[in-house]
Amino acid sequence: MQDTFRHKGLRKKLVETVRGKGIHDSKVLAAIEAVPRHFFMDSSFLEFAYQDKPFPIGSGQTISQPYTVAFQTSLLKLERGMKVLEIGTGSGYQASVLAEMGVRVFSIERQRKLYLKTKAFMESMPWKIQLFLGDGYAGLPKFAPFDRVLITAAAPEIPSALVEQLKTGGIMVIPYGNGDEQQMLRLTKQADGSLSEERFGTFRFVPMLGDLADD
């Protein structure tokens, strides 16, 4: 796969669009500019890669809208070297944006087909991400604690295992709700284990699902 001048030019425009929608974190914008989103989509859809829209990636799932990726990433307040757990690997795009920002990424996908496809694809990419097939509600106790947890599917509840796996002072960003729209929450874990909550408006995500799907 090639990253041509044309792609780079389209990506610069995309960054301006995302900036225009209110994302001012220069490190996040630099990561969006650095990661070729078209690599993560089917090659027959290249013209859609640099529109600020979500797009189907197979198995009934979508690659998130670039603005949403940038928004969630900026809510995380990342610092280099942090350990970040992502729930919902999907195409691997969001995970690669995180890795581009110098953090260690662990990502869980529950759909086997998508997991296998993305795992094989990521071998050829420069971002080293640890991918797992499993249930995001359970997290990765073996690799805990995490500095940050990012959920990229609509969560009808706040997964308690993920709260447990978060460091004190750590942040979880979660699209919370089980209707068509979710509230974007930033939860910060306090010294006594409780969570402080900030709200950042409504978004639309595909639902976070329970049992492991074998499709």
What is the contact surface with ligand SAH in residues (CB under 6 A)? Answer: 61-64, 87-88, 90-91, 93-94, 108-111, 114, 135-137, 152-153, 206, 208-209
Residue with Cβ nearer ligand SAH (192 or 214) = 214
Go through the chain and tell me how many residues it has: 215
**Side-chain-side CA neighbours of residue 169 (13 Å):** 3
CB of 190 to ligand SAH, least distance (A): 26
Shortest reach from residue 108's CB to ligand SAH, in Å:
5
Active-site annotation holder among 26, 43, 59, 64? 64
Nearer to ligand SAH, 126 or 193 (CB): 126
Shortest distance, position 65 Cβ to ligand SAH, whole Å: 10
Q: Which is nearer to ligand SAH, 47 or 211 (CB)?
A: 211
CB of 120 to ligand SAH, least distance (A): 15
Active-site residue, 64 included: yes
SS3 per residue for the chain:
CCCCHHHHHHHHHHHHHHHHCCCCCHHHHHHHHHCCHHHHCCHHHHHHCCCCCCEEEECCEEECCHHHHHHHHHHCCCCCCCEEEEECCCCCHHHHHHHHCCCEEEEEECEHHHHHHHHHHHCCCCCCCEEEECCCCCCCHHHCCEEEEEECCEECCCCHHHHHCEEEEEEEEEEECCCCCEEEEEEEECCCCCEEEEEEEEECCCECCCCCECC
Question: By C-beta, is 111 or 171 nearer to ligand SAH?
Answer: 111
Active site residues: 64
